[in-house]
Structure 1
Amino acid sequence: MGSFSGWLINPYKLGRELLPKERKADLRAEGLPRLDPLNKGAIHLDATRLEYLDRFFLLRGWALLGGGFLALFCVTLGALGIYGFLQSSHGEVEPVFWGIVIVALMCGLPSLVVLKLFVLKDVFRYTHYPVRFNRANRTVYVFTGGAKGYVEVPFDEAFFFIHEDGGSAANNARSYDLLMHILRDGTVIHTVAIGSDGGGSPGIVLAHWEMIRRFMDEGIAALPFPPLGIFASSRVSVKNALVVPYAALPGVLSWILSPFLIVIGLCRYIALATSRRPIWPSSVDAACAPPATSPVFREPAVYGGLPGGEKGEAAFMAYWGDAEAKARQHDQALSSLFR
């Protein structure tokens, strides 16, 4: 499970200079090892374009579940309070009226706050906010859904770093993900979390970055496709909505928690089904068009689908297990970047 920071809590702070810890975790710094690349959330690859989901795509549905529960609790509490006042009114209109007003305000306002802070960040949005890397013009496009619809930055001017999140006195658990800052005159004006996170491994984030670096600097031929493949999917369906929470819990545990996973899966489906798919401006699509001779790897219909059947899946898993194990071997050395 990825962190909610940057989405539901602790929004990214803009209008500031880079922090010292961000500078230390610069992915373009000299001395960082070159790892085997890992595909963490790509949904399209060709000779011109590498496109990723935003990190929060995998968390969709949680805000609706949590916020919806809190809002329903407040509304139910208010309804019970109003019912109690009406039952005990004994024909006294004025005290009951003001009692109902007070209860409605005490329960209704928190409901509205919950809806704004949580539920409306999940529903009636865009299904995802993709990030495109264009090797032909060395530009990064970030879909925002605003008036222009996107922001862009030259790849060589964007600031990429390993972001460390979490950690508390209780469990000291930390998670790592790949963030990109867009800077203007040294000031952060936009931040995006690219692809899925690396869990508790900064090494996996470095391997995630290596896929982007190789594509932009060396081209599609430098990426091991196959055995790697595009397995993430942004397509909205009940099956896809259920696949994601079940995939987060392996084996028997997923069956034990099935009732809860089905609920979060349905909330995920509602959140995505009520949202619009992103549509890039025609100018961006034209700039990202692949050459006619380019191989094209597209997202599957179902999240986790891989080409090549059982043989292709076996080769993918063998590569992934080896690359991930090698990446984790660098975790201890990379931890010095965050201290």
Structure 2
Amino acid sequence: MSTFSAYGMGPQGFLVNRPLNEYEREQHLNVKKSASEQVLYDLSLIKFNSTFVECVDKWYSMRGFVAMVGGALSVIALGMQGLLLYLAFSEKLSVVELLGFPFFFVFLWFVAKFLLSDAFTYTHYPIRLNRQNRRVYAFRRDGSILKAGWDEVYWTIYNTKLGMGGGDLNVMGHLLEKDGVTIKESIALSLVDAGEPGRQNLLQFFEFFRRYMEEGPGPVLDALKPVPLIMLPGIDHQKESWFFGWEHLTGGMKGLPLLQILFQPFLLPISLFRWIVMRTSKIPMWPQWVEDECAVAPDDPWVRDGRHRA
């Protein structure tokens, strides 16, 4: 039976204990072969140096949306409960109608769980790829750490609506059982896109990390030119501001200024809930054993972090 992993945002996370589907097999990404001539990093990097590159996961750009939906549903549920109580004390409800109370309590529990999957958690779930020891580290939702070999991870493009047409695409890394087919755990890189142009973007996105791991920091930054390497603003040690959250959400429609304006009535409330999510959540801290395994030389010329914003 399929179950859900503890990694990632949401009450469910990623579907595991299932076989690789046909699309995942077709889109398998070989770490020894170039996925694209170009590279793309999509403002997803926290740290970059000769030892490792650290990035955010798939859910980072979506933070605030789940909390907003959960908050709106919670208000509706509480409002309905209040209305039922008022009518009950006014003796305007029958015994049968009072049976609606348990239903709304269950509904309230569900939406509260939905809300708390975004707020009061972690500000982000970092993924670290160490090219020196060829290991991948991922921060799970429960605070534990996944450690896996770079060459052991089954990298592929995942389609959220396989068999239904369309669907969002993202780069997923699966850890497989000994049978080489059954998925036991999954991590997802941050970029989400759609359609064939989106698939090409994802190939470039994966190629950034693949080229870093296989060739090093110099070659991947050379491939990125003339695009500058802009890092996220120190989210490993400080919580993002409301303005950056709004900017990050709006930047998801970069190159489409008219849409950026038209969607502000939707993006502004999300940015407010995103700010609340970040204020109520903890900054993830790697355990000392991870930091020891990912030690960076003091004179490393390739160090880039939140101080490098241009």
More helix by share: 1
Partner secondary structure for residue 133 of structure 2: coil
* 1:178 and 2:171 matched: yes
1:107 Cα offset (Å): 1.7
Q: Distance in 2 between matches of 1:244 and 1:258?
A: 13
2:122 equivalent in structure 1? 126
1:15 Cα offset (Å): 2.1
1:231 Cα offset (Å): 3.6
1:262 equivalent in structure 2? 268
What amino acid is the match of 2:266?
Answer: F
Contact 1:165–1:174 under 8 Å retained in 2: yes
Q: Distance in 2 between matches of 1:22 and 1:208?
A: 17
Contact 1:49–1:288 under 8 Å retained in 2: yes
- Map residues 159-308 of structure 1 onto 2, 5 A cutoff: 159-166=154-161, 172-185=165-178, 186=180, 187-200=182-195, 201-224=198-221, 227-233=227-233, 234=235, 235-249=239-253, 250-294=256-300, 295-299=302-306, 306-307=309-310
Structure 1's 31 and 278: CA in aligned 2 closer, same or farther, altered over 3 A? closer
Partner secondary structure for residue 75 of structure 1: helix
Structure 1's 165 and 17: CA in aligned 2 closer, same or farther, altered over 3 A? closer
Structure 1's 205 and 257: CA in aligned 2 closer, same or farther, altered over 3 A? closer
What amino acid is the match of 1:293?
Answer: D
Structure 1's 214 and 32: CA in aligned 2 closer, same or farther, altered over 3 A? closer
Among 59, 82, 87, the alignment partner of 2:85 is 82
Pair member with larger Rg: 1
Contact 1:82–1:103 under 8 Å retained in 2: no
1:150 equivalent in structure 2? 145
Q: Which stretch of the first structure deviates more once superposed, 265-274 or 235-244?
A: 235-244
Q: Which stretch of the first structure deviates more once superposed, 64-73 or 252-261?
A: 252-261
Contact 1:166–1:174 under 8 Å retained in 2: yes
Q: Distance in 1 between matches of 2:111 and 2:35?
A: 44
Partner secondary structure for residue 39 of structure 1: coil
C-alpha RMSD of the superposition? 2.6
1:66 equivalent in structure 2? 69
1:140 Cα offset (Å): 0.4
Partner secondary structure for residue 110 of structure 1: helix
TM-score when scaled to structure 1?
A: 0.77
Unpaired runs of 5+ in structure 1? 1-5, 90-94, 308-339
1:293 Cα offset (Å): 2.9
Q: Distance in 1 between matches of 2:149 and 2:186?
A: 14
What count of residue pairs does the alignment treat as equivalent? Answer: 288
Contact 1:39–1:228 under 8 Å retained in 2: no
Q: Distance in 2 between matches of 1:30 and 1:244?
A: 33
1:13 Cα offset (Å): 2.2
Partner secondary structure for residue 195 of structure 1: strand
What amino acid is the match of 2:229?
Answer: G
1:243 Cα offset (Å): 1.4
Contact 1:242–1:261 under 8 Å retained in 2: yes
Deviation per CA, 1:104-132: give whole Å up to 9, x if none: 3232221111111x111101111111110
Contact 2:135–2:147 under 8 Å retained in 1: yes
Structure 1's 55 and 33: CA in aligned 2 closer, same or farther, altered over 3 A? closer
Partner secondary structure for residue 190 of structure 2: coil
Structure 1's 100 and 78: CA in aligned 2 closer, same or farther, altered over 3 A? farther
Q: Which stretch of the first structure deviates more once superposed, 26-35 or 67-76?
A: 26-35
What amino acid is the match of 1:163?
Answer: Y
Partner secondary structure for residue 171 of structure 2: strand
Structure 1's 61 and 168: CA in aligned 2 closer, same or farther, altered over 3 A? farther
Question: Could you tell me the percent identity over the aligned residues?
Answer: 25
Q: Distance in 2 between matches of 1:17 and 1:204?
A: 26
